[in-house]
């Protein structure tokens, strides 16, 4: 009985000590170092205008639907997609009717928007929702298929747009890890800042 009571005391006291060390001291040390050394990243890699207006994060996707913009992947985050306070995938399975219908519609609309032939294959990332619903990237092939449309809508040469796409392509890390992706928000911001004459 005495040893049982000692264990009860051990359980309660150790929990409290751990709260102080692991839930107080530890996160605060990480916070202090992070804010000191990687301030920008620790605060969300935020993108701001010259006047300080917050425009998004270079790590998080935003939705774009106009033809003068590169369009990101479909998103299942929040009711309208790209809700960065409600990350989520579609969680629809391989034999889901709902998913197959959505993929069919997206393929048709992608072909129409980008002037593809009726039987031309469409990149998988362009017609599927990402895991987070906030995927900042599209595949290089997806970007290449959108280049002509964006160039036309913005009165730019395709080469100009292509070189921007190139400069916004990220990965693979260390030359080998992961897949290459084009950061859509960075790319569209670069387009917006070009002195162009939009139709």
Partner 1 sequence: MHTSDWLQLALFVGLLALITKPLGIYLTKVLDANGKTLLDPVVGPLERLTYAVMGVDRTREQNWKQYTVAMLLFSLAGCALTYAILRLQHLLPFNPQGLGPLNHHLAFNTAISFTTNTNWQSYGGEGTMSYFSQMVGLTLHNFTSAATGIAIAAALVRGITRHSAGVLGNFWVDLVRSTYYLLLPLSLVLAIFLVSQGMIQNFKPYDTATLLEPQKVQVEKKNDAGETVLGADGKPVMEEQVITDQVIAQGPMASQVAIKMLGTNGGGFVNANAAHPYENPTPLSNFLQMLSIFAIGSGLTYYLGRMTKNQAHGWSVWGAMMVLFLAGVITCWWAESRGNPIHQGLGVVLGDGNMEGKEVRFGIFNSSLFATVTTAASCGAVNAMHDSFTAIGGLVPLFMMELGEVVIGGVGAGLYGMLVFVVLAVFIAGLMVGRTPEYLGKKIQAYDVKMAMLSLLVLCLSILGFTAWASVSDWGLAGLNNSGPHGFSEMLYAYSSTTANNGSAFGGLTANPANGDPHYNVTLGFAMLIGRFLMIIPIMALAGSLVQKKIAPPSVGTFPVAGVTFTILLIGTVLLVGALNFLPALALGPIVEHFLMLKGQLF
Is 198 an interacting residue with respect to partner 1 (CB under 8 A)?
no
The yes or no reply on residue 79 touching partner 1 (CB under 8 A) is: yes
Backbone torsion region of residue 146, taken as left when φ is above 0, otherwise alpha when ψ lies between -120 and 50, otherwise beta? alpha
Asked if 133 interacts with partner 1 (CB under 8 A), we say: yes
Query: Beta-carbon neighbour count of residue 153 at 10 Å?
Result: 16
Residue 134 CB, shortest distance to partner 1, in Å, is 6
Residue 28: CB minimum distance to partner 1, A? 9
In the chain, what's the furthest Cα-to-Cα distance? 84
Question: Nearer to partner 1 by C-beta: 53 or 197?
Answer: 53
Q: Considering only residues 1, 2, 50, 59, which one is a binding residue for partner 1 as defined by CB under 8 A?
A: 59
Spatial contact of 126 and 106, defined as CB atoms under 8 Å apart: yes
Q: How far apart are alpha carbons 165 and 156 in whole angstroms?
A: 13
Cα-based torsion angle of the residue sequence 100, 102, 104, 105 in order, rounded to the nearest 10 degrees: 170
What is the C-alpha radius of gyration for the chain, rounded to an integer number of angstroms?
A: 23
Contacts with 45 (C-beta within 8 Å, 6 or more apart), sequence order: 57, 58, 59
Decide whether 104 or 159 has the Cβ nearer to partner 1: 104
Contacts with partner 1 in 137-166 (CB under 8 A)? 137-139, 141
Among 1, 3, 51, 197, binds partner 1 (CB under 8 A): 3
Residues 84-113 close enough to bind partner 1 by CB under 8 A: 84-97, 99-100, 103-104, 107, 111
The yes or no reply on residue 31 touching partner 1 (CB under 8 A) is yes
CB of 162 to partner 1, least distance (A): 19
9 near partner 1, rule: CB under 8 A: yes
């Amino acid at each position: 009985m005495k040893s049982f009571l000692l264990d009860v005391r051990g359980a309660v006291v150790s929990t409290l000590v751990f709260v102080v060390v692991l839930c107080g001291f530890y996160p605060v040390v990480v916070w202090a170092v992070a804010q000191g050394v990687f301030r920008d990243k620790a605060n969300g890699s935020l993108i701001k205008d010259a006047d300080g207006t917050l425009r998004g994060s270079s790590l998080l996707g935003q939705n774009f639907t106009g033809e003068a913009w590169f369009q990101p992947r479909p998103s299942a985050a929040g009711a309208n997609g790209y809700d960065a306070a409600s990350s989520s995938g579609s969680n629809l399975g391989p034999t889901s009717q709902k998913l197959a219908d959505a993929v069919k519609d997206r393929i048709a609309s992608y072909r129409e928007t980008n002037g593809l032939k009726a039987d031309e294959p469409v990149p998988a990332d362009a017609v599927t929702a990402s895991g987070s619903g906030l995927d900042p990237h599209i595949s290089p092939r997806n970007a290449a298929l959108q280049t002509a449309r964006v160039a036309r809508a913005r009165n730019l040469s395709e080469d100009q747009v292509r070189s921007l796409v190139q400069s916004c392509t990220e990965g693979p890390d260390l030359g080998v890890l992961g897949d290459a992706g084009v950061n859509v928000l960075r790319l569209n911001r670069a387009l917006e800042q070009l002195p162009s004459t939009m139709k």
